[in-house]
Amino acid sequence: MTGTRIWVDADACPGVVKDMLFRASRRTGVPVTLVANRPVAVPSLPNVSFVQVQRGFDEADKAIVERMSAGDLVVTQDIPLAAEAIARGGLAISPRGEVYSADTIGERLAMRDFMDSLRSTGVDTGGPAAFGQRDSQAFARQLDSWLSRYRR
């Protein structure tokens, strides 16, 4: 998996997840690139970088897809971005530790579209629960799993 890296859809990524990624990069040397359409603070580490894209719908997503390679890990809550990452041979996980796979991404896209259509008719579908310790632990487990494969 030489040359693989972690791409982060950083606009909505919780700080605790970014901190885990920075520590993982420091510990393992895996390159981490955050992509966002607004400035994001990143530590001065040799394998951590930031790409700021122009403001606009899905600009960060487009930048990640254009730059990523097969085997890369994409951290995102965005289901369409996860689908594109998987189609390009990458792995995608949410900041809550949910692994998106070729087997499940179609169902996730369909559910996302269904919920969007409900919201467009005025139905209050609520939002996700607050990010908590359980989410943080689930993400850490998935990151460790990916890193163990990365180091092979």
50-63 pLDDT, tens per residue? 999 999 888 999 99
In the CATH hierarchy, which fold is given to the domain comprising 6-150? Rossmann fold (3.40.50)
Residues of the chain with pLDDT under 70: 1-2, 105-106, 108-119, 123, 125-127, 151-152
- Domain residue extents for the chain: 6-150
Burial class (CB in 10 A: 0-12, 13-18, 19+), 10: buried
CB 90 within 8 A of CB 6: no
Please report the pLDDT score of residue 1 as a whole number. 45
